[in-house]
Structure 1
């Protein structure tokens, strides 16, 4: 079965946005893609059908919090924190391994993604359209008013695409179950995956290592490589054994604190560092808001402390600010 997608729908215009210094390093830029408006409208229609199919057949694991109805980064962190604090209050230690895929969305092989769509029972016509949408894609890089020559895209799902997060979750749908079957707890938000286990003795560390090996083997088979230098282990509790975990023969670095979906988590499960950072951001935001109305300043404060975006407020309310 074949499907046709206009070639103009398959072109992305990428603008690199700096994340941090030094700006001479390409890895310190975030690519922001602009895609066809008409394509995005059609993507939303296909996304609705995919989501209905996923929910009706309970395909996505309950441990996957990314882009699921009623779930978010907050629910992902709360689920993990609930497990960790329960163990911590019982004076038990927990080892948490944060797994990081290398440019995950850009690496998804199209042929294997199409295979996965068939495995979960997506309608052949929908699969044909998605295949046509992914094949023959191009991108151009725009810096100021200068546009590069178009380059072909051989793999990956479009950055910034409406369908992309759902396609990635489908591609990794069996991974949380694979981890659970090893005997580990898992919590995922799209490509951010962490595995953990309460430790009674060193044999529990061996279970975690088996989980790491299972994920490493999955990543090899499905061509989604893991990042060695971004994969970390957080040891929670005072009596955690100094077990060294390995990812494909490379020792995983142990850390005392880590940034987890916007939250700063420490091995003592205190939020002092996180609160200090939020307070600093709030003061900086209030300082830049000097001369603005009290209402607007309150909204700016809520934005930094509670994550409320003032742009979501009704337009007539913003006019009063």
Structure 2
């Protein structure tokens, strides 16, 4: 095992772990969690933690110093979980990924360190509200509502494109992820460790007492890993710069100007003109092509917010102009790519509905 010398600023991310860090992580882990491919349950570690801590600390520190992720930690055990619909259709199952307990512990430590490093250096754009300390969908929904209140008056409208990415985490190109980590300024020692984590990754599926053959996983970030959302945020962080460098249209809110809001892999494009939204959609299509990602058109939609006076009183209602692929064409926005349907009518008397993660927060 080769031990590389570390530079001073590397210690924030890949410096030695201590027993207190290990204790803190195991305290948060549920003892009843199923074991990974190694068959060692978390409960075993929790029951004998005082004895095992020195060994775990030694092992984790060797991994951090060498920059080499253990091959035994690179295989995930997948358990299919039925969602709904036809039980014979594979798309109606969700795969739950189980990883070795020690891999999960070190990933959580790295996740905490990476989160602190990104926040301290202010490297993730303000448009990103997902999986950031001190941020959440409530912030994104608040900004979106403020934009609706501002632009949905009189003859003006707010055009919002709610975009969902098709299997976003599973589609991440790892070479592009490496480039994104280096471009954002992460130390080479940390990047080397993440690259090792995603080299020669494999999986195996368990159904009852039967197991599939081992298969390679050549794309994506790991399912079920607390580190994956942060890595994805880094992966698409340059979308803001991409739009700015192409003079993408923006809307203003106070002193701020923006073209989109993000919550991890959920994107909301915002514009006050249909042609501006068209421009943004075209640019996003170009960006996704570069990143080797694609839209999930079944879950993406365009919403037009407009305020219209009702009757003679002073009550106002928000209307979403409906456009369907099969019927009804009100304002129609053509795309140089997949068709994106329009959302149905919404008024303030109904629960506010925003697609994807935005909707989950709006219900609260």
Query: Secondary structure at 1:251's aligned position in 2?
Result: coil
Name the structure 2 match of 1:124: 188
Name the structure 2 match of 1:315: none
> After the TM superposition, which residues 193-232 of structure 1 pair with which residues of structure 2 at under 5 Å, given as runs?
193-198=267-272, 204-232=273-301
Q: Is the 2:69–2:196 Cα contact (8 Å) retained in structure 1? A: yes
Contiguous gaps of at least 5 residues in structure 2: 5-65, 251-258, 307-318, 322-328, 354-361
Q: Is the 1:64–1:189 Cα contact (8 Å) retained in structure 2? A: yes
Name the structure 1 match of 2:167: 103
* TM-score, structure 2 normalization: 0.66
Structure 1, residues 31-50: CA drift from partner, whole Å, max 9, x if none? 21111211111112222332
Query: Secondary structure at 2:152's aligned position in 1?
Result: helix
The alignment of Structure 1 onto Structure 2 pairs a total of residues equal to 263
Distance 1:75 1:271, change over 3 A: farther
Q: How far apart, CA to CA, are the structure 1 residues paired with 2:363 and 2:333?
A: 36
Q: Is the 1:169–1:190 Cα contact (8 Å) retained in structure 2? A: yes
More helix by share: 1
Distance 1:273 1:210, change over 3 A: closer
> After the TM superposition, which residues 1-321 of structure 1 pair with which residues of structure 2 at under 5 Å, given as runs?
3-89=67-153, 92-179=156-243, 181-184=247-250, 185-198=259-272, 204-237=273-306, 238=319, 242-256=330-344, 266=346, 268-272=347-351
Query: Secondary structure at 1:243's aligned position in 2?
Result: coil
Structure 1, residues 222-275: CA drift from partner, whole Å, max 9, x if none? 111222333211122259693333443443211216xxxxxxxx3x3443487x
Q: How far apart, CA to CA, are the structure 2 residues paired with 1:176 and 1:25?
A: 38
User: What is the deviation of 1:3?
Assistant: 2.8
Query: Secondary structure at 1:16's aligned position in 2?
Result: strand
Q: How far apart, CA to CA, are the structure 2 residues paired with 1:254 and 1:112?
A: 32
Q: Is the 1:101–1:227 Cα contact (8 Å) retained in structure 2? A: yes
Q: Is the 2:301–2:343 Cα contact (8 Å) retained in structure 1? A: yes
Larger radius of gyration between Structure 1 and Structure 2: 2
Distance 1:273 1:221, change over 3 A: closer
Distance 1:90 1:270, change over 3 A: farther
Structure 1, residues 134-159: CA drift from partner, whole Å, max 9, x if none? 11111111222322221100010001
Q: How far apart, CA to CA, are the structure 2 residues paired with 1:273 and 1:171?
A: 30
Structure 1, residues 269-316: CA drift from partner, whole Å, max 9, x if none? 443487xxxxxxxxxxxxxxxxxxxxxxxxxxxxxx987xxxxxxxxx
Name the structure 1 match of 2:324: none
User: What is the deviation of 1:216?
Assistant: 0.6
Query: Secondary structure at 1:182's aligned position in 2?
Result: coil
Query: Secondary structure at 1:227's aligned position in 2?
Result: coil
Distance 1:239 1:152, change over 3 A: closer
Q: How far apart, CA to CA, are the structure 1 residues paired with 2:115 and 2:275?
A: 37
Q: RMSD across aligned C-alpha pairs, in angstroms?
A: 2.5
Q: How far apart, CA to CA, are the structure 2 residues paired with 1:165 and 1:195?
A: 21
Q: Is the 2:351–2:363 Cα contact (8 Å) retained in structure 1? A: no
Distance 1:91 1:239, change over 3 A: farther
Contiguous gaps of at least 5 residues in structure 1: 199-203, 258-265, 275-304, 308-321
User: What is the deviation of 1:19?
Assistant: 2.4
Q: How far apart, CA to CA, are the structure 1 residues paired with 2:86 and 2:110?
A: 40
* TM-score, structure 1 normalization: 0.74
User: What is the deviation of 1:21?
Assistant: 1.2
